[in-house]
Amino acid sequence: MLKRSCDYGHSAGALSLTGLEYMSDEEKAARISSVANDMTASIIYIAKQAEAGNVTEKHTAPIYDFIDRVCGTEKRQKKSLLRELERQDEQIAQAVKRHQEDIRELMACASTAILRLKARADKLEAELERLRAQDSSKFSDSDNTCPGEAVVLERDEPSKRNDASIAQSTI
Protein backbone atom coordinates (compact mmCIF):
# COMPACT_ATOMS: atom_id res chain seq x y z
CA MET A 1 0.00 0.00 0.00
CA LEU A 2 1.23 3.48 -0.95
CA LYS A 3 1.79 5.90 1.86
CA ARG A 4 0.08 9.22 1.22
CA SER A 5 2.05 12.37 1.95
CA CYS A 6 0.43 15.20 3.87
CA ASP A 7 2.53 17.70 1.96
CA TYR A 8 0.31 19.00 -0.84
CA GLY A 9 3.12 20.70 -2.72
CA HIS A 10 3.83 20.03 -6.39
CA SER A 11 1.71 17.21 -7.91
CA ALA A 12 -1.05 16.83 -5.36
CA GLY A 13 -3.48 18.43 -7.81
CA ALA A 14 -6.77 19.70 -6.46
CA LEU A 15 -6.03 18.35 -2.98
CA SER A 16 -3.35 21.01 -2.60
CA LEU A 17 -6.13 23.63 -2.78
CA THR A 18 -7.98 22.40 0.30
CA GLY A 19 -7.90 25.05 3.01
CA LEU A 20 -7.19 27.75 0.44
CA GLU A 21 -9.27 30.24 2.44
CA TYR A 22 -6.80 29.96 5.34
CA MET A 23 -3.62 30.45 3.30
CA SER A 24 -1.56 33.59 2.90
CA ASP A 25 -1.63 35.39 -0.45
CA GLU A 26 1.80 34.03 -1.36
CA GLU A 27 0.80 30.45 -0.46
CA LYS A 28 -2.45 30.74 -2.45
CA ALA A 29 -0.58 31.98 -5.52
CA ALA A 30 2.00 29.17 -5.21
CA ARG A 31 -0.61 26.43 -4.83
CA ILE A 32 -2.76 27.68 -7.74
CA SER A 33 0.33 28.06 -9.91
CA SER A 34 1.32 24.48 -9.07
CA VAL A 35 -2.12 23.17 -10.07
CA ALA A 36 -2.04 25.17 -13.33
CA ASN A 37 1.42 23.82 -14.15
CA ASP A 38 0.24 20.28 -13.43
CA MET A 39 -2.80 20.73 -15.67
CA THR A 40 -0.68 22.11 -18.50
CA ALA A 41 1.87 19.35 -18.22
CA SER A 42 -0.89 16.70 -18.05
CA ILE A 43 -2.65 18.01 -21.18
CA ILE A 44 0.63 18.15 -23.10
CA TYR A 45 1.58 14.62 -21.99
CA ILE A 46 -1.83 13.20 -22.92
CA ALA A 47 -1.68 14.93 -26.34
CA LYS A 48 1.76 13.40 -27.00
CA GLN A 49 0.46 9.96 -25.94
CA ALA A 50 -2.52 10.39 -28.31
CA GLU A 51 -0.15 11.30 -31.16
CA ALA A 52 1.91 8.21 -30.43
CA GLY A 53 -1.23 6.08 -30.53
CA ASN A 54 -0.95 4.97 -26.92
CA VAL A 55 -4.41 6.34 -25.96
CA THR A 56 -7.68 6.45 -27.90
CA GLU A 57 -10.40 9.09 -28.21
CA LYS A 58 -12.30 7.18 -25.56
CA HIS A 59 -9.37 7.71 -23.17
CA THR A 60 -8.90 11.41 -24.04
CA ALA A 61 -12.62 12.32 -24.07
CA PRO A 62 -12.58 13.67 -20.47
CA ILE A 63 -9.72 16.04 -21.33
CA TYR A 64 -11.47 17.29 -24.46
CA ASP A 65 -14.71 17.74 -22.48
CA PHE A 66 -12.76 19.74 -19.91
CA ILE A 67 -11.19 21.92 -22.63
CA ASP A 68 -14.62 22.41 -24.27
CA ARG A 69 -16.12 23.52 -20.92
CA VAL A 70 -13.26 25.96 -20.37
CA CYS A 71 -13.66 27.35 -23.89
CA GLY A 72 -17.46 27.52 -23.52
CA THR A 73 -17.12 29.40 -20.23
CA GLU A 74 -14.66 31.79 -21.84
CA LYS A 75 -17.02 32.45 -24.77
CA ARG A 76 -19.96 33.12 -22.42
CA GLN A 77 -17.88 35.47 -20.31
CA LYS A 78 -16.59 37.23 -23.41
CA LYS A 79 -20.16 37.68 -24.72
CA SER A 80 -21.27 38.97 -21.34
CA LEU A 81 -18.38 41.44 -21.22
CA LEU A 82 -19.09 42.61 -24.77
CA ARG A 83 -22.78 43.18 -23.88
CA GLU A 84 -21.68 45.16 -20.82
CA LEU A 85 -19.29 47.24 -22.93
CA GLU A 86 -22.05 47.93 -25.47
CA ARG A 87 -24.39 48.98 -22.65
CA GLN A 88 -21.72 51.30 -21.25
CA ASP A 89 -21.04 52.71 -24.74
CA GLU A 90 -24.76 53.50 -25.08
CA GLN A 91 -24.78 55.19 -21.68
CA ILE A 92 -21.74 57.25 -22.64
CA ALA A 93 -23.34 58.25 -25.94
CA GLN A 94 -26.52 59.31 -24.12
CA ALA A 95 -24.49 61.28 -21.56
CA VAL A 96 -22.56 63.03 -24.35
CA LYS A 97 -25.83 63.87 -26.12
CA ARG A 98 -27.33 65.28 -22.88
CA HIS A 99 -24.14 67.22 -22.23
CA GLN A 100 -24.23 68.75 -25.72
CA GLU A 101 -27.92 69.66 -25.26
CA ASP A 102 -27.11 71.24 -21.90
CA ILE A 103 -24.30 73.26 -23.48
CA ARG A 104 -26.60 74.46 -26.29
CA GLU A 105 -29.26 75.44 -23.73
CA LEU A 106 -26.69 77.21 -21.57
CA MET A 107 -25.33 79.09 -24.59
CA ALA A 108 -28.86 80.18 -25.56
CA CYS A 109 -29.53 81.40 -22.00
CA ALA A 110 -26.20 83.22 -21.91
CA SER A 111 -26.87 84.85 -25.30
CA THR A 112 -30.32 85.97 -24.13
CA ALA A 113 -28.89 87.37 -20.90
CA ILE A 114 -26.11 89.18 -22.79
CA LEU A 115 -28.62 90.72 -25.21
CA ARG A 116 -30.83 91.86 -22.31
CA LEU A 117 -27.84 93.33 -20.46
CA LYS A 118 -26.66 95.10 -23.63
CA ALA A 119 -30.14 96.52 -24.22
CA ARG A 120 -30.30 97.67 -20.58
CA ALA A 121 -26.81 99.20 -20.83
CA ASP A 122 -27.80 101.01 -24.05
CA LYS A 123 -30.95 102.30 -22.37
CA LEU A 124 -28.99 103.50 -19.33
CA GLU A 125 -26.37 105.11 -21.55
CA ALA A 126 -29.10 106.98 -23.45
CA GLU A 127 -30.68 108.08 -20.15
CA LEU A 128 -27.28 109.26 -18.90
CA GLU A 129 -26.72 111.26 -22.08
CA ARG A 130 -30.20 112.77 -21.78
CA LEU A 131 -29.55 113.77 -18.16
CA ARG A 132 -26.14 115.25 -19.05
CA ALA A 133 -27.72 117.25 -21.84
CA GLN A 134 -30.49 118.42 -19.51
CA ASP A 135 -28.00 119.40 -16.76
CA SER A 136 -25.65 121.17 -19.17
CA SER A 137 -28.52 123.35 -20.42
CA LYS A 138 -29.26 124.38 -16.79
CA PHE A 139 -25.62 124.90 -15.92
CA SER A 140 -24.62 128.54 -16.04
CA ASP A 141 -21.06 129.65 -16.64
CA SER A 142 -21.43 132.79 -14.52
CA ASP A 143 -21.80 131.21 -11.08
CA ASN A 144 -19.97 127.86 -11.78
CA THR A 145 -22.52 125.87 -9.78
CA CYS A 146 -24.63 122.96 -10.79
CA PRO A 147 -28.43 123.35 -10.32
CA GLY A 148 -28.48 120.53 -7.76
CA GLU A 149 -25.76 122.25 -5.71
CA ALA A 150 -27.77 125.44 -5.47
CA VAL A 151 -30.74 123.60 -3.98
CA VAL A 152 -28.51 121.95 -1.37
CA LEU A 153 -26.90 125.30 -0.47
CA GLU A 154 -30.27 127.02 -0.08
CA ARG A 155 -31.56 124.27 2.17
CA ASP A 156 -28.51 124.39 4.44
CA GLU A 157 -28.37 128.17 4.96
CA PRO A 158 -29.66 128.92 8.49
CA SER A 159 -30.77 132.46 7.66
CA LYS A 160 -33.33 131.18 5.17
CA ARG A 161 -34.93 128.71 7.61
CA ASN A 162 -37.89 129.79 9.66
CA ASP A 163 -38.09 129.23 13.39
CA ALA A 164 -40.77 126.53 13.10
CA SER A 165 -38.57 124.32 10.95
CA ILE A 166 -35.66 124.75 13.42
CA ALA A 167 -37.91 123.75 16.32
CA GLN A 168 -39.26 120.83 14.35
CA SER A 169 -35.74 119.56 13.51
CA THR A 170 -34.64 119.65 17.18
CA ILE A 171 -37.55 117.52 18.37
Q: What is the pLDDT of residues 80-102, one digit of tens each?
A: 999 999 999 999 999 999 999 99
**CA-CA distance, 146 to 10, in Å (whole number)?**
107
53: left (phi over 0), alpha (psi -120 to 50) or beta: left
pLDDT of residue 124: 97
Q: What is the pLDDT of residues 34-67, one digit of tens each?
A: 999 999 999 999 999 999 999 999 999 999 999 9
CA distance readout (Å), 121 to 111, 114, 131, 133: 15, 10, 15, 18
> At what angle are helices 25-52 and 57-138 packed, to 10 degrees?
130
pLDDT at 135 over 70: yes
Report yes or no on whether pTM surpasses 0.75: no
CB neighbour list of residue 43: distance below 8 Å, 6 or more residues apart: 63, 67
pLDDT of residue 4: 37
Which residue from 85, 79, 41, 89 is spatially nearest to 63, judged by alpha carbons? 41
pLDDT at 171 over 50: no
Q: Where are the domains of the chain?
A: 1-55
CB neighbour list of residue 14: distance below 8 Å, 6 or more residues apart: 35
